Amino acid sequence: MSVFRRREGFQYLWTDSPVSTLIIILNLLMFLVTLITGGFSSLNLIQLGGLFPPLVTENGEYYRLLTTMFLHGSTFHLIGNLLIGIFVLSTALERLIGSLKFATIYFGSGLIASLVILYANPTALSIGASGAIYGVLGALLYVTIYRKDKVNISDISSIRGLIVINIIFTFLYPNVSIAGHIGGMIGGFLLSYLLIKRNVVEIIN
Protein backbone atom coordinates (compact mmCIF):
# COMPACT_ATOMS: atom_id res chain seq x y z
CA MET A 1 0.00 0.00 0.00
CA SER A 2 1.22 3.50 -0.81
CA VAL A 3 2.45 5.61 2.08
CA PHE A 4 0.39 8.48 0.66
CA ARG A 5 -2.89 6.57 0.86
CA ARG A 6 -4.96 7.60 3.85
CA ARG A 7 -8.42 7.07 5.27
CA GLU A 8 -11.01 9.58 4.09
CA GLY A 9 -12.63 12.02 6.49
CA PHE A 10 -11.43 14.79 8.80
CA GLN A 11 -11.87 12.58 11.87
CA TYR A 12 -9.33 10.13 10.47
CA LEU A 13 -6.97 12.95 9.53
CA TRP A 14 -6.94 14.02 13.17
CA THR A 15 -6.67 10.44 14.44
CA ASP A 16 -3.90 9.35 12.07
CA SER A 17 -1.95 12.63 11.80
CA PRO A 18 -2.73 14.86 14.80
CA VAL A 19 0.44 16.95 14.66
CA SER A 20 0.07 17.66 10.93
CA THR A 21 -3.59 18.55 11.46
CA LEU A 22 -2.66 20.97 14.24
CA ILE A 23 -0.01 22.54 12.00
CA ILE A 24 -2.62 23.05 9.27
CA ILE A 25 -5.02 24.70 11.74
CA LEU A 26 -2.33 27.01 13.16
CA ASN A 27 -1.24 28.07 9.68
CA LEU A 28 -4.83 28.86 8.72
CA LEU A 29 -5.35 30.83 11.92
CA MET A 30 -2.20 32.88 11.32
CA PHE A 31 -3.31 33.45 7.72
CA LEU A 32 -6.56 34.97 9.02
CA VAL A 33 -4.64 37.05 11.56
CA THR A 34 -2.37 38.28 8.77
CA LEU A 35 -5.35 39.39 6.68
CA ILE A 36 -7.05 41.08 9.62
CA THR A 37 -3.99 42.96 10.87
CA GLY A 38 -2.86 44.50 7.58
CA GLY A 39 -2.10 41.86 4.99
CA PHE A 40 1.16 40.65 3.51
CA SER A 41 3.27 43.76 3.88
CA SER A 42 6.79 43.24 5.19
CA LEU A 43 6.07 45.43 8.21
CA ASN A 44 2.99 43.43 9.19
CA LEU A 45 4.76 40.09 8.71
CA ILE A 46 7.64 41.28 10.88
CA GLN A 47 5.20 42.40 13.57
CA LEU A 48 3.52 38.99 13.49
CA GLY A 49 6.81 37.13 14.02
CA GLY A 50 8.52 36.84 10.66
CA LEU A 51 12.21 35.98 10.66
CA PHE A 52 14.05 39.28 10.29
CA PRO A 53 17.65 38.44 11.31
CA PRO A 54 18.63 41.82 12.84
CA LEU A 55 15.79 41.51 15.36
CA VAL A 56 17.09 38.09 16.36
CA THR A 57 20.81 38.82 16.53
CA GLU A 58 20.56 42.35 17.92
CA ASN A 59 17.37 42.24 20.01
CA GLY A 60 17.41 38.60 21.04
CA GLU A 61 13.96 37.85 19.58
CA TYR A 62 14.70 34.15 19.16
CA TYR A 63 11.02 33.19 19.08
CA ARG A 64 11.06 34.33 15.45
CA LEU A 65 13.02 31.20 14.54
CA LEU A 66 9.80 29.29 15.28
CA THR A 67 6.95 31.73 14.61
CA THR A 68 8.09 32.35 11.04
CA MET A 69 7.00 28.77 10.22
CA PHE A 70 3.35 29.76 10.59
CA LEU A 71 3.40 32.85 8.36
CA HIS A 72 3.06 33.14 4.58
CA GLY A 73 3.59 35.90 2.07
CA SER A 74 0.51 35.30 -0.08
CA THR A 75 -2.56 33.11 -0.48
CA PHE A 76 -0.76 31.09 -3.16
CA HIS A 77 2.21 30.58 -0.82
CA LEU A 78 -0.09 29.26 1.91
CA ILE A 79 -2.08 26.96 -0.36
CA GLY A 80 1.05 25.46 -1.90
CA ASN A 81 2.59 24.68 1.47
CA LEU A 82 -0.60 23.36 3.06
CA LEU A 83 -1.84 21.17 0.23
CA ILE A 84 1.39 19.50 -0.86
CA GLY A 85 3.84 20.12 1.96
CA ILE A 86 1.61 19.35 4.92
CA PHE A 87 -1.65 17.69 3.81
CA VAL A 88 0.13 15.22 1.51
CA LEU A 89 3.78 14.89 2.58
CA SER A 90 3.69 15.66 6.30
CA THR A 91 0.64 13.52 7.05
CA ALA A 92 2.28 10.63 5.17
CA LEU A 93 5.51 10.94 7.16
CA GLU A 94 3.62 11.22 10.45
CA ARG A 95 1.65 8.04 9.76
CA LEU A 96 4.88 6.33 8.76
CA ILE A 97 7.10 7.15 11.76
CA GLY A 98 4.70 8.31 14.47
CA SER A 99 3.69 11.72 15.77
CA LEU A 100 6.56 12.30 18.22
CA LYS A 101 9.33 11.60 15.72
CA PHE A 102 7.48 13.53 13.04
CA ALA A 103 7.08 16.59 15.29
CA THR A 104 10.77 16.46 16.18
CA ILE A 105 11.80 16.29 12.52
CA TYR A 106 9.30 18.92 11.33
CA PHE A 107 10.03 21.57 13.93
CA GLY A 108 13.69 20.62 14.24
CA SER A 109 14.17 21.03 10.48
CA GLY A 110 12.31 24.34 10.59
CA LEU A 111 14.58 25.63 13.32
CA ILE A 112 17.69 24.45 11.49
CA ALA A 113 16.46 26.20 8.34
CA SER A 114 15.87 29.40 10.33
CA LEU A 115 19.37 29.26 11.81
CA VAL A 116 20.91 28.76 8.36
CA ILE A 117 18.90 31.72 7.04
CA LEU A 118 19.98 33.80 10.01
CA TYR A 119 23.59 33.66 8.91
CA ALA A 120 23.22 33.15 5.16
CA ASN A 121 20.74 36.02 4.66
CA PRO A 122 21.37 38.35 7.61
CA THR A 123 19.35 41.30 6.29
CA ALA A 124 16.40 39.67 4.50
CA LEU A 125 12.91 38.92 5.82
CA SER A 126 12.06 35.22 5.55
CA ILE A 127 8.69 33.62 6.22
CA GLY A 128 6.93 30.34 5.58
CA ALA A 129 6.84 26.66 6.46
CA SER A 130 9.10 25.69 3.58
CA GLY A 131 12.17 24.95 5.72
CA ALA A 132 10.20 22.47 7.81
CA ILE A 133 8.51 20.99 4.73
CA TYR A 134 11.87 20.48 3.02
CA GLY A 135 12.89 18.75 6.24
CA VAL A 136 9.98 16.37 5.66
CA LEU A 137 11.33 15.77 2.15
CA GLY A 138 14.75 15.05 3.64
CA ALA A 139 13.16 12.55 6.04
CA LEU A 140 11.26 10.85 3.22
CA LEU A 141 14.50 10.64 1.22
CA TYR A 142 16.10 8.94 4.22
CA VAL A 143 13.25 6.43 4.30
CA THR A 144 13.73 5.59 0.60
CA ILE A 145 17.38 4.79 1.31
CA TYR A 146 17.41 3.12 4.73
CA ARG A 147 13.82 1.95 5.24
CA LYS A 148 12.65 0.61 1.91
CA ASP A 149 10.57 -1.89 3.85
CA LYS A 150 8.20 0.97 4.71
CA VAL A 151 7.57 2.20 1.15
CA ASN A 152 6.80 0.60 -2.19
CA ILE A 153 8.73 1.08 -5.43
CA SER A 154 6.22 3.59 -6.77
CA ASP A 155 6.52 5.69 -3.60
CA ILE A 156 10.31 5.67 -3.83
CA SER A 157 10.19 6.98 -7.39
CA SER A 158 7.57 9.60 -6.50
CA ILE A 159 9.48 10.86 -3.46
CA ARG A 160 12.83 11.10 -5.23
CA GLY A 161 11.27 12.71 -8.28
CA LEU A 162 9.50 15.26 -6.11
CA ILE A 163 12.77 16.08 -4.35
CA VAL A 164 14.54 16.68 -7.68
CA ILE A 165 11.70 18.93 -8.84
CA ASN A 166 11.75 20.92 -5.60
CA ILE A 167 15.52 21.39 -5.69
CA ILE A 168 15.27 22.70 -9.26
CA PHE A 169 12.38 24.94 -8.18
CA THR A 170 14.48 26.27 -5.31
CA PHE A 171 17.25 27.49 -7.60
CA LEU A 172 15.10 28.72 -10.49
CA TYR A 173 12.12 30.40 -8.82
CA PRO A 174 12.64 34.02 -7.64
CA ASN A 175 12.24 35.14 -4.03
CA VAL A 176 12.88 31.66 -2.64
CA SER A 177 15.19 31.11 0.31
CA ILE A 178 17.79 28.71 -1.04
CA ALA A 179 19.47 28.58 2.36
CA GLY A 180 16.20 27.77 4.10
CA HIS A 181 15.18 25.04 1.67
CA ILE A 182 18.52 23.26 1.50
CA GLY A 183 19.18 23.76 5.21
CA GLY A 184 15.78 22.29 6.05
CA MET A 185 16.24 19.29 3.78
CA ILE A 186 19.69 18.46 5.15
CA GLY A 187 18.37 18.99 8.68
CA GLY A 188 15.47 16.60 8.06
CA PHE A 189 17.78 13.93 6.69
CA LEU A 190 20.22 14.22 9.60
CA LEU A 191 17.46 14.20 12.22
CA SER A 192 16.00 11.12 10.57
CA TYR A 193 19.40 9.46 10.78
CA LEU A 194 19.27 10.01 14.54
CA LEU A 195 15.61 9.16 15.10
CA ILE A 196 14.62 6.47 12.59
CA LYS A 197 16.21 3.07 13.04
CA ARG A 198 17.97 1.83 9.92
CA ASN A 199 17.07 -1.51 8.40
CA VAL A 200 20.20 -3.69 8.51
CA VAL A 201 19.12 -5.63 5.42
CA GLU A 202 18.79 -2.44 3.37
CA ILE A 203 22.18 -1.19 4.55
CA ILE A 204 23.86 -4.44 3.47
CA ASN A 205 22.13 -4.36 0.10
Q: Is 177 a catalytic residue?
A: no
- Mark whether 17 is an active-site residue: no
**Is the CB of residue 113 less than 8 Å from the CB of residue 167?**
no
Q: Which of 109, 114, 126, 130 is catalytic?
A: 130
DSSP summary character for residue 122: T
The beta strands (E) that lie in 111-184 are given as: none
Residue 126's SS3 state is strand
Which residue in the list 20, 114, 181, 192 is annotated as catalytic? 181
The Cα 199–Cα 150 span in angstroms is: 10
Distance in angstroms (rounded) separating the CA atoms of residues 184 and 182 = 5
Active site residues: 130, 181
